[in-house]
Chains A and B, each alone.
Chain A
């Protein structure tokens, strides 16, 4: 499972760095692509805009999605992911600091596979990432790629 790409959609550079660090500490060696906002995420997923050169036929293995994003927010990105047959099966984990009930409900309703709250404690955060990695990347059976 080292081949798949993990798409990290996160606008906060500190959070980006910490997440990468946590993934690395847990020996998750997959290539991690970072999208700084919703538009970039969509561009990457569908091979448009700044990622026009990418082939959208191979979707990422896992999407770690923050909700509070500038321009297009996490819920809208999720909606787009689920709306497109190329990406509708991709596992999406909402990784957010929001504990608000409506985000949780809407996230699941929009088709998120998982909702994890980013803890402030970095050790806890690392642990959360580890468990995420363990589950989604190793234990979980990924959906088949639509091209196969």
Chain B
């Protein structure tokens, strides 16, 4: 991946991550704040309600105490009789019929026995015997208590009891039973205050009876444990999530719960967070675009540098970079240009050197050319004289010469002829080194056939020659001809004494390159001396056995090396020899059918 894409990806990733992180943190913060606000509100309102309920329960107690303290009640309890009873009833009635939610007022004896009942007990529900729980609430020193809520039919009732005591002695109790009969006004006001969906529950701290101040209602799935400064969270009404604050009403067994739907609390936070996320995403997108634009501007000099480096690698040494800015990229450009200049100079110096060396080489070659030209001509002339006049002597002085003399002359002639051959071979060797190579596709099969045709001079001598068809090589035709001439000529020479002489010319593929070979079943040689095989003038056979100057293989080696190849030999005495050679491996095409065919 290019640096550019990496940078863009990095910026994009970072801004997105940053945006997501800050949006999340903001959301969390907003949520916390929203909850906090809701809690404060809820707790606050709940406190107020609690205060109100404390006050009203206090008032209730006070009134009950007032009744319990009235002298008529006292008198009846002290000395119960019909007149005290009616007086006490009068007092109790006045309270019972006040028209608020008081349902009945009862006078109980100290043991809890019901003595008098004022008002409409039916309105307070049926179970008039349930005074024990109420009275059980009394603790040492309490003058009045408020009892727990009870559900009677579909009404919620509660009671307040006051002790009637005189002189520290409990004479009896006055119980005021009331009904919960609100109008729902409270609920409406609440909803206005807190918000839609809010709900108020007042009930027993034990959590068994709940009312919404109008009637009994199924309560929230909690008990009356106060929540203090935190909020409760639960689901109600088929999965709706609610928040609630719970408080105990001191001095009563009651608790008040203020509920609020959770969703609206969060809605605001969610909205804000959503808008924030949108803005952040937008910023991230902007950031990415900016990174895109900036990175391309930053990368441009680097790409230019890479392109210029590539151009120089391909040989265009004149490329330079523009130094655009005074920063690290500018430094890079300057350093690059400096390097390019030096490369160019070095290249020019090198080329200059090459030109000089080539000129020198050419001069040397020309000198060598002239040298070998005069060598070839001037050395041969005296040899011709030697040979010629020896022959003349042999012919003219035949009678005067005896066999020994003639033998001497013959040796002289042979020596001069050998020297002539040597001169020719040496000249050939030197020409092979100097001459220009013209590489082309060469049909080796055709060359081999030509050479064999030239060698076949003696019809009595039948040599079995197998030349592989379609042998091809890439090299200088003339030089390759010389190679084959030498190798096939050698094979021809050394199989001279065989009854079934056999020569093979072919090629095999080895290690991805073509290896040509010339094989014969002739005299062979001892491999122990093989390292001398290709050195000039070194022979492994006596001149008496096989003629030769010892230059042929040196010439072959020189030519093969000029082609970039290798030549080597395998042989055994009296079992023939195989000379193998390669030419430039990379250029050699595959022979199509490398099996040998009769040639």
Please give me the residue from chain B that is nearest to A126 by CB atom.
Answer: B391
Q: How far does the alpha carbon of A123 sit from the alpha carbon of B413 in the complex, in Å?
A: 11
Which residues from A are CB-within-8-Å of B382? 14
Given contacts A18-B392, A21-B392, contact A120 B377 (CB under 8 A): no
Which single member of A12, A120, A123 contacts B420 (CB below 8 Å)? A120
Given contacts A18-B389, A122-B392, contact A12 B373 (CB under 8 A): no
The answer to whether the Cβ of B358 comes within 8 Å of any Cβ in the partner chain is no
Verify if B268 is at the interface (C-beta below 8 Å from A).
no
Q: B388 near A18 (CB under 8 angstroms)?
A: yes
- Interface 0/1 of A15-42, CB less than 8 Å to B: 1011001000000000000000000000
Whether the Cβ atoms of B381 and A97 lie closer than 8 Å is yes
Q: Pick the contact of B385: A14, A98, A121 (CB < 8 A).
A: A14
B365 at the interface (CB under 8 A from A): no
| Binary contact track B372-395/A, C-beta < 8 Å → 1, others 0 | 010011101111110111111000
Q: Does B252 contact A (CB under 8 A)?
A: no
- Residue interface bits A67-101, CB-to-B below 8 A is 1, else 0: 01000000000000000000000000000111110
Which A residues lie within 8 Å of B427 (CB)? Answer: 99
Interface size on B, residues (CB 8 A): 22
Specify the chain A residue showing the minimal Cβ separation from B383: A120
Partner of B384 from A18, A21, A99, A100 at Cβ < 8 Å: A18
Cross-chain contact B384 with A118 (CB below 8 angstroms): yes
List, in ascending order, chain B residues with CB within 8 A of A120's CB: 380, 383-384, 387, 416-417, 420
From B378, which residue of chain A is reached at the shortest CB distance? A68
A122 engages B376 (CB within 8 Å): no
A residues near B384, Cβ cutoff 8 Å = 14-15, 18, 97, 118-120, 122, 125
Q: How far is the CA of A18 from the CA of B382 in the complex (A)?
A: 12
User: Do residues B377 and A68 form an inter-chain contact, with CB atoms below 8 A?
Assistant: yes
In the assembled complex, the CB of B529 is this many whole angstroms from the nearest CB of chain A, namely 31
Q: Contact between A100 and B376 (Cβ–Cβ < 8 Å)?
A: yes
How many residues on chain A are close to B (CB under 8 Å)? 19
Are B385 and A18 within 8 A (Cβ)?
yes
Residues in B402-459 with C-beta less than 8 Å from chain A: 413, 416-417, 420, 424, 427
Check if A97 sits within 8 Å of B377, measured CB to CB: yes
Q: Can you name the residue of chain B whose Cβ is closest to the Cβ of A120?
A: B420
Q: Which residue of A lies closest to B428 (CB)?
A: A99
Taking a contact as CB atoms under 8 Å apart, the answer to whether B392 and A12 are in contact is no
**Cα distance, A92 to B377, chains bound together (Å):** 20
Closest chain B residue, CB of each to CB of A22: B388
State A68–B373 Cα separation when bound (angstroms).
11
Give bound CA distance, A22 to B227, whole Å.
146
**A100-B373, A120-B417 in contact; A14/B390 too (CB < 8 A)?**
no
Contacts of B381 in A (CB 8 A): 12, 14-15, 97
Residues in A with CB closer than 8 Å to B377 are 68, 96-98
Q: Which of A12, A99, A125 has the most CB of B within 10 A?
A: A99
CA–CA, A96 and B380, complex, Å: 10
Q: Which chain A residues numbered 98 to 136 have a C-beta less than 8 Å away from chain B?
A: 98-100, 118-123, 125
User: Which residues of chain B from 99 to 124 have a CB within 8 Å of any chain A CB?
Assistant: none
Which of B373, B380, B390 lies in contact with A122, CB distance below 8 A? B390
User: In the complex, what residues of B have CB within 8 A of residue A100's CB?
Assistant: 373, 376
Of all chain A residues, the one with the shortest Cβ separation from B379 is A97
* A contact residues around B416 at 8 Å (CB): 120
Which B residues touch A18, using CB under 8 A? Answer: 384-385, 388-389, 392
For B424, the chain A residues whose CB sits under 8 A away are 99
B513 to chain A, nearest CB (A): 33
A-B contact pairs, 11 of them (CB 8 A): A14-B381, A15-B384, A15-B385, A96-B377, A98-B373, A100-B373, A119-B384, A120-B380, A120-B383, A120-B384, A120-B416
- Would you list the 8 A-B pairs with minimal beta carbon distance, nearest first? A14-B385, A120-B420, A18-B388, A122-B391, A122-B388, A97-B380, A120-B383, A122-B387
Q: What 9 additional pairs, Cβ within 8 angstroms, besides A121-B417, A125-B384?
A: A14-B382, A18-B388, A68-B377, A99-B427, A100-B376, A120-B417, A121-B387, A122-B387, A122-B388
